[in-house]
Structure 1
Amino acid sequence: MGLLQENDTKFENMTLTEFDKLPRDQQERYEFVDGMVMMSPKATLIHQMLITNLIIGLGPYFKGKTCKVFSEAEIKLKNDIFIPDISILCDPDQFSGARYEDTPTIIIEVLSPATRSYDLFTKLNKYQMAGVKEYWIVDPKSQNITIHHFELSEADIYIRGEVLTTPLFKGLELALDDVFET
C-alpha cells in the first residue's frame, strides 16, 4: 500500500472532491485516507481464492435478506474512502452511484505482505472510529480469522477446524476449513 505516486506531493493533503476528480486506472485500487491517495496492487492468487471462498461461504446466508455481501465496494467513512476486500452492507438506500455512504456492518480484509500493517493498524482504527460493528482480519499465513467485535470491545480468533459465528447474524456459520481450502 502506498501513495499514488511516491514522489508526487500533489497526492497528499487533497480534498475528497479533488480525489473524486482523479482519473482511475482499472488495474489498481485507490483509497483516500487522511487526505492522501493510497493504492494497492492487484490481489495475489491466494488472496483472490480466499475472497472467493468467503463470498461462497457467506452468500447463501444473506440470500433474500436486506444485508448483502459485497467484494471491493467503495465505502465512504467520514472523509475517507476505503475499498475493503469484502463488506456486509445492510442499507441499500445508502449507495450513491458505485459508492456506499454509510457504515458497513462487517468489513473483511485478507492480509497480504503489501497491506498487512495498513490493515492491522490504520484500517482497524479507522473502522472502529467510524462505527463498523465487526472487522474480520483473514490471515492466509497463519490460516486464522480474527474478529474484532468493536461494540463489545473484544476479539475472537478462529482457526482451521473451527466454525466461525457472529452475534450480529444468528445462524451464520462459516467453516474455516472451507475458507482456507486452496
Structure 2
Amino acid sequence: MPLLKENEHFQKVTLEEFDALPMDEQHLYELIDDMVLMMPRPGVLHQSILFNLSVSLAPFFKGKTCRPFSELEVRLNKDIFVPDISILCDPEKFSEQRYEGAPTIAVEILSSGSMRTDLFVKLNKYQLAGVQEYWIVSPKSKTVIVHTFTKGAVNEYTLEDTLTSGIFEDLKIPLRDIFPKAP
C-alpha cells in the first residue's frame, strides 16, 4: 500500500495495515478514523518548545510511576495518536510499539499543518477516550490552554503566568521557561 503524500485524498486503512506501512523518519504518522495522517517533522521553534517543556516536566515526575514521553504512539480505541508529550501512568499499558490507552495528560504544540486536528479532532477524541487533561501550546501567541476534562475546566495561561495542572496539583511551570527568547 503506497504512502499518502501531504494533502492527498485519504484512503481508509485498518490498524494492521497502518502498522505494516513503510514509514520514514522525516514524517510523523497518525491513524484517525481509519485514515492515515502524515505530517512533516516539527521545525526548530516547535522542537525548542518541546525540549523546554520536557526539561520542565522531568524533575516533577522523577521517581514517580507517571512519566513524560515525547512523540510516543498512543492507541485510543482504533486511533493512533502521537502527542508531542504524553504523561503516561500505567506501566502495564506499554506494548513494544506504543502505549495502549489514554494518557493522563496529552500535550500538543500547534503548527500550521496540525492546528485544525489539534484544536478540534484531538480535543474531542482525547476527551472521549479518557484523557484527563489536554494542553494546547501555541508558539504564535505564546499561550497554553489547559483542558482539565475531569473537572470540566478550561484555563488559558500567558507568558507572565505559571501553568498549573488540575491533575497534578503540585506541577507548576512558568511559561517564560517554555517559550524561547527572541534572538
TM-score normalized by the length of structure 1: 0.94
* 1:127 paired residue number: 126
Q: Unaligned stretches of 5+ in structure 2?
A: none
Separation (CA, whole Å) in 2 of partners of 1:13 and 1:73: 23
Map of 1:54 onto structure 2: 53
- Please list every run of at least 4 consecutive aligned residues from structure 1 whose deviation after the TM superposition is greater than 6 angstroms: none
Q: Does 2:139 match 1:140?
A: yes
Using the alignment, how far apart are the partners of 1:143 and 1:151 within structure 2? 25
1:96 alignment partner, SS class: coil
Match of 1:86, as an amino acid? Answer: I
Helix, strand or coil at the partner of 2:65: coil
CA distance in 1, matches of 2:6, 2:177: 39
Q: Deviations over 1:19-50 (max 9, x none)?
A: 11111111111100101110110101000000
Give distance in 1, aligned partners of 2:110 and 2:65. 28
TM (norm. structure 2) is 0.93
What is the aligned partner in structure 1 of residue 33 from structure 2?
34
SS at match of 1:114: coil
Residue in 1 that maps onto 2:157: 158
Cα offset, 1:170, TM superposition: 2.7
Are residues 13 and 168 of structure 1, via their aligned partners in 2, closer, same or farther at CA, if it must alter by over 3 Å? same
Letter matched to residue 29 of structure 2? Y
Which residue of structure 2 lines up, in the alignment, with residue 98 of structure 1?
97
- Matched residue of 1:40: which SS? strand
Q: Could you say which residue in structure 2 is the equivalent of 1:5?
A: 5
Counterpart residue identity of residue 5, structure 1: K
Structure 1 residue 98: Cα displacement = 2.4
Name the SS of the counterpart of 1:181 in structure 2: coil
Per-residue CA deviations over 1:128-151 (Å, capped at 9, x if unaligned) read 110100000000111000001112
Looking at structure 2, the residues matched to 161 and 124 of structure 1 have their Cα atoms a distance apart, in angstroms, of 25
State the superposition RMSD in angstroms.
1.5
The 10-residue stretch of structure 1 (69-78 or 22-31) with the greater mean CA deviation from structure 2: 22-31
